[in-house]
A = this chain, B = another copy of it.
């Protein structure tokens, strides 16, 4: 049974990507042989080599599926006009990010692979760049939104927008790493939402 239809071929391609994610997550990228991945997908290495040039290309395909939609979703909140307080947009955006991370096992697996199951050397050095760039983009975006908040007089006086942005930037990055790198993060995940609220509250105008 070979020579499937195009739709069937596309299906096996997706199954290979899914299998790769599972194997990467379990074994780490470098110990994930194409044989293991193929077996997990119910095909042979021949199929894998047909669809992907090598392990690196497979890795990037797996990553692509998850990363871009994530940026899109969080940006939708960040740049939304429906918040009259820009700080609410930032809070909603960050909350949404961690909500997806909590709800989607696929997303969580991919992030865990990229954070603690992949070595950023050789053909994977570019991965670091690909993580780093969205991170810096995020910094630039929230800095703009913090500035809007300041202009509207909704940022606590004495706080510089750029300073607030960098602090939130580090906070978000740290929260992500703490959540994923310690599996004891199970108890942390319950507190994520509250932590974000507390973090944002510190830069809001005191209520009384």
A54 contacts partner chain B, Cβ-Cβ < 8 Å: no
Using A28-B119, A119-B116, A120-B117 as known contacts, say yes or no to A174 and B182 having CB atoms under 8 A apart. no
Chain copies in the assembly?
Answer: 2
Is the CB–CB distance between A169 and B163 below 8 Å?
no
Interface size on A, residues (CB 8 A): 46
Q: Which of A119, A175, A181 has the most CB of B within 10 A?
A: A119
Tell me if A118 counts as interface (CB < 8 A to partner B). yes
Complex CA–CA separation, A198 to B170 (angstroms): 12
Chain B residues, Cβ within 8 Å of A176 = 174
Interface flag for A5 (CB, 8 Å): no
Residue of B whose beta carbon sits closest to that of A191: B166
Q: Which of B31, B175, B181 contacts A30 (CB 8 A)?
A: B31
B-binding residues in A (CB < 8 A): 26-31, 116-122, 128, 131-132, 135-136, 158-160, 163, 166-167, 169-178, 181-184, 191, 194-195, 198-199, 202-203, 206
Which 7 residue pairs spanning A and B have beta carbons closest together?
A174-B174, A28-B119, A173-B174, A170-B174, A132-B182, A28-B121, A30-B30
